[in-house]
Amino acid sequence: MTLLTQQTGRYLLLFCALIALFTAIAHLSCIVLGEQCYRAQLAPRAIIESAIHGTLFAPLATVVIACIFIICALYALAGASAIVRLPLTRVAIYIIGSICILRGLATFPLLLSHPEMASTFAIIAGILWFLCGVGYLLGYKLMGYDEQL
């Protein structure tokens, strides 16, 4: 594996980590900003209702989702060798990358079946998650870990 190829893989994984961390922060901002923020981020109706009524469901669900994105970021950082390798890094990278690709690919059929959800935000998010999925898988491959097996 050449240094340039490995560096490209590192950049792809670092990009994915940044996107995941940004997403975690964006989700957490809903706790502070309230119902309108949940609505803008296309949260499910139950979450929006919880935010309106001030129940704990919305903030607790938001923290859980943010933690999932933080874990995704940590695995991207581990794959990029920016932090120590985490348990099951290879498996986690493949699962996260695959889920991101599926999330991105699901955007357009979902928008066709639910046109009321169609927005620039939804389309950009779908494209971004597809690219992140490719970034996780290709970045990890370019880092050369599979060749070490």
DSSP string, 17-44: HHHHHHHHHHHHHHHHH-HHHHHHTT--
Quote the CA–CA distance of 64 and 10 in Å, as a whole number. 27
Alpha carbons within 13 angstroms on the beta-carbon side of residue 132 total: 29
pLDDT of residue 1: 59
CB 111 within 8 A of CB 118: yes
- Whether the pTM exceeds 0.85: the reply is yes
Q: Which regions in the chain score pLDDT beneath 50? A: 149
pLDDT digits (tens, 9 = 90+) for 55-87: 999 999 999 999 999 999 999 999 999 999 999
pLDDT of residue 122: 84
pLDDT of residue 56: 96
Q: What is the CA radius of gyration of the chain?
A: 17
pLDDT of residue 149: 45
Of the candidates 114, 133, 136, the one whose C-alpha atom is nearest the C-alpha of residue 11 is 136
